[in-house]
Amino acid sequence: MHYLDHAATTDLRPEAADEWLRVAGATGNASSTHGAGQRARRILEESRERLAAALGCEPIEVVFTSGGTESVNLALQGLWRSRAEGRTGILLPDGEHHATLDTVAALAAEGAGVVAIGLDAVGRILVDAFAAALAAEGVALATALVANNEVGTINDAAALAASAAAASVPLHLDAVAAFGHLPLSFAALRGEAPAGAGLVALSVAGHKIGAPAGTGALVVARTARIAPLLHGGGQQRGLRSGTQDVAGAAAFALAAELAVGEQVAEAMRLRRLRDRLAAGIRERVPSAELLGDPDPSGRLPGNAHLLFPGAPSESLLFLLDIAGMSASAGSACQAGIAEPSHVVQALGRTETEARSVIRFTLGRTSSDDDVDAVLAVIADAYARASGSSIRGR
């Protein structure tokens, strides 16, 4: 099997698996005062410190969660419910992940207003449009992707954070797709922002970098006002009550250390593989079009998102799958429902085009063999998939 869907989830790192097993074998609730509990507490807080170092933040700012979706929900719901009086608007760029879109939709049902802004033709948030929208009366908070999880385009997160700070609006950044693949520092992005404004929250997930699924974190600035989703024992600054997953935290922290330590060299390796894959596909299927930023440095290192005109995504994915290759048509977080990519449509493409895209994403275990496997079958798969589309008309 050739796995080219690392953006959905990547291989569990053996080191992270070993760390999880090591810590999970011990007994102790990190909130207990006896010796076993305090040993668990020490491992938990050491893991928090290690993850904080990888994220460029203070340990107290790390709130462990169950993953990216929970982190996004805690940030957006918590910020909106703690908003300044009279402010109800949420600044929402097009093309965000469904965790963000659906959370904002739920808040809209509670009275939130949505201030929407578009993307440019490669899927990037326009900083000037973002800044102008922040100035609108009644904006309570803003959210944005550090890098688009589908087409891979990298946003200017520093400029977005600076715009939010200048407008005295709190900003949440979704860094789930970016963490471990791009340089990332919460403190550097936050800069000298005033209390409660600018970058105040940042979401990450463990399974994107080789930690177990079900691990994640929300970085919350010391000065941020965020209402909790869960109430109970008051763990983690009262922002996420409940018994903490010590083994998951330890495995996530180790995976983060490894990913950040390897990031520069791994990005260079993945860019080479990705560029070879994209160029090889377009050579074999001349009508195929690379979506997202065409500049190799302007997109996530392992992302090659292509439009295959006339070939339904599900048909092409099926043919690739039976040939031993795993890819996707976009985000894996849509409950397996086949629908046109809202991200591709946000680039100004038609619904038909949005139903004819494939996202190939490479990761730590990817090699030239995986690229060769795709290039060996893509022309035939495209011919068969586009033929089935023609016959179905």
Active site residues: 333
CA 339 to chain centre: 20
Q: How far apart are CA 387 and CA 393, in angstroms?
A: 10
Instruction: Give the dihedral of Cα atoms 143, 144, 149, 152; nearest 10 deg.
Output: 180
The full 3-state SS of 316-365, as one line of letters, equals HHHHHHHCCEECECCCCCCCCCCCCCHHHHHCCCCHHHHCCEEEEECCCC
User: How many CA atoms lie less than 13 Å away from 363 in the CB half-sphere?
Assistant: 25
- Which contacts (CB < 8 Å, 24+ apart) does range 374-377 have? 374/2, 374/4, 374/277, 374/280, 374/281, 374/320, 374/325, 375/277, 375/280, 375/281, 375/284, 377/319, 377/320, 377/323, 377/325
Q: How far apart are CA 47 and CA 230, in angstroms?
A: 22
Instruction: Report CA-CA distances (Å) from 378 to 165, 285, 288, 319, 324.
Output: 47, 8, 11, 9, 12
